[in-house]
Every structure is written in structure tokens, then in C-alpha cells.
Amino acid sequence: MRLSADDGQLRALVGRTRVFLLDLDGTVYIGDEPIGPMARTLAAVRSSGRKLVFCTNNSSKSAQAYARKLKKLGLFGREDEVYTSGIAAAEYLRANFAGKRVFLVGTAALRREFSARGIALDDADPDVCVLAYDTALTFRKLALFNRFLAEGKPYIATHADAVCPAKGVYPPDVGSFIELLRCSSGRVPDVVCGKPGPVMGGLLASRLGVAANEVAMVGDRPYTDIRFGNNNGFGTVLVLSGETDAAAAEKLPPSDRPQAILNSFNDIEKYL
């Protein structure tokens, strides 16, 4: 059942969309299970001539790792892309801090992605500090990062989610690290690259060569996915297959209000 937007509005949104940005967990799969007939739905989107970009704030894994998981689930097509907040941070650095040395608090996978994009990593005397979702975080890394912040180095975060979705108790994500460093250094990030801010949106639109109104963001988190779409002038579709239920969707503030609400992305097929 569709919960918002009449057929005409939804058909108009889908009609002008050339690229669907899809959140991952809660939108196309939950854990290791596709949501309903998702493989068929994504195939139908591709057949309609539209592009799919899987768009996630999780900067602990590489785009290749996400692609492997999606392929294993039968959800990844040859022309599909994966775009993470880590990639957005790397591209932002190349555009705004070209040639600068970077101290990265992040996983080995993200370090490899930065290096592959020509970003020089330096743990001793960096020009810029980047905070990502580091599942191998140590006190030494935090202490060094804190010192560099106290010295006034530019401070970039990949994203600001407080917790990471998981079964059971949600573990702390970059937003929690940001609060820790705010207490110790008095600093907050100068720039946050991931959803819901404008950096990732601008980079994606430029990369894909499309106008903002030809992009639709689909996700289950209003305060990241939908706010991201609204902040960047994209179409926005909230799905109720993950974090948000129908009752919560009815109470959203204007910044997080989508143009359409669907039970799952599978419902989009009839509007293609």
C-alpha cells in the first residue's frame, strides 16, 4: 500500500528520474536477505533505462566489498555503482586539498581506497585530518587525532551517524566518535561528507552527469536518506522496510518528509 503521494505525483517523480540512489540495509536487503523480490525489481529498473547507485554512509568497507555482497545476493548489475561516504571524502580531498597529506582514522580497506585515489596518508605530520568509521579504532589513533585537531588541522568526517545498524545493540558510529573528540579537543568537523549534507550529493550529481531533479534518493532513514535527498534537490522515497514504520512516517518534520512513502522499493515497479 502506498502511504503518500497520489499516483500522478509518484509517476511524475519516477518519470523524471534517471538515477536511483539506493540505501542498502533496510532498503534493498536486511542483513543477508534481499527484501522481497528485490532482484526482479532492480532488473526492472535497469530495463527501464535508469541507473542504480547503491549509496551508503558506512565508510568502513570498500565499494568492492559491497559489490561482492550485492552480487552474492543477486542484486548487483554490470552498470551499477557503489558510492560510500568514504569515497565522497576522498573525492572532496582531491578537489579541495590536492597534494595535502592526510591523517586518516579509518579501516585498512578505506586506507587502500584513499591510496588508490592518489591521496598521501601521513600518520606523523599531516596537513588534514579525516575521521571515518574505524572498526579497528585504538586509543593511539584517537590521541593522535585529538592532538592534530588541537593544533588546528582541517577536520573532515566521512559521515555523522551516531550508531551503526546491527542486530541487537547498535554499536557506536562516527557521530559518537565526533562527540568524544568534541569533548577532548573542543572541535567539531569543518566538513561532513556523507548523508545528509550537500557534499556527497554534489559529487554524485557531477559524477553521474545529471541534474539534481533527475536523481531520486530511496532509503529507510528519514534523518539521513530523506534529508539528504531534500538537501540536494533530489526526489525522495521513504521505504518502510527498515528502520521507519508508518506511525513514525506520519510525524516527520519538513526537513525529513519524503515525496513518497512505499512499503518497500519493490512497489516502484508498477510506476516504471
Catalytic positions, written as ranges:
23, 25
Task: Measure the N-to-C terminal CA separation of the chain; round to a whole number of Å.
Answer: 17
Residue 197 half-sphere exposure, CB side, CA atoms within 13 Å?
20
228 SS3 class: helix
Say if CB 260 and CB 236 are below 8 A apart: yes
From 210, 265, 198, select the one nearest 29 (Cα to Cα): 265
29 SS3 class: strand
Grid-cell match 588546528, residue found: 152
Total number of residues shown for the chain: 272
Nine cell digits for residue 126? 599531516
Say if CB 29 and CB 266 are below 8 A apart: no
